[in-house]
Amino acid sequence: MMNVLLWVLAGVLAVAFLAAGAMKLSQPKEKLAASGMGWTEGVSAGTVKLIGSLEVLAAVGLVLPPALGIAPVLAPLASLGLALVMLGAMVVHARRSETQMIAVNLVMFALAAAVAWGRFGPYSL
């Protein structure tokens, strides 16, 4: 039962971060800022692309390695990486007084941390 829940959580995280990362990779930071990602104004375009790349890689790492049975340890590492990205995002949004975004980051952090805990611990792949 818990293994199924961890797969579902990993799938939800993968879809969310694949979409978010692809958006950061495919659009200029000015367009991202205009669409509500005001934090992009305070960082370089390269940093936005780096964050997008990390999100896409983590999304793939959550699902593909365990699904293929190749280096499944990448799944908990990917979820740990996403948890760290969300901690960084919370700091950025706190500095900008964007409390609604902190709440979203906190939920995503909790999901990623739960997957990391489960996959590193009692429900490893």
Whether residue 122 has pLDDT greater than 90: no
SS3 27: coil
Measuring CA to CA, which residue among 15, 7, 28 is closest to residue 55? 15
How far apart CA 37 and CA 23 sit, in angstroms, is: 11
Residue type, 99: T
- The predicted model scores a pTM of 0.92
Q: How many domains does the chain have?
A: 1
How far apart CA 53 and CA 34 sit, in angstroms, is: 21
Query: In this predicted model, what pLDDT tens digit does every residue of 11-42 receive, in sequence order?
Result: 999 999 999 999 999 999 999 999 999 999 99
Measuring CA to CA, which residue among 52, 4, 13, 110 is closest to residue 102? 110
Domain that holds residue 78: 2-120
- Residue 72 placed within a domain: yes
- Residue 41 placed within a domain: yes
- Residue 94 placed within a domain: yes
- Residue 125 placed within a domain: no
Burial class for 32, CB neighbours closer than 10 Å (0-12, 13-18, 19+): buried
Tokens of 60: 């793939």
The answer to whether 123 touches 89, Cβ cutoff 8 Å, is no
Query: In this predicted model, what pLDDT tens digit does every residue of 83-99 receive, in sequence order?
Result: 999 999 999 999 999 99
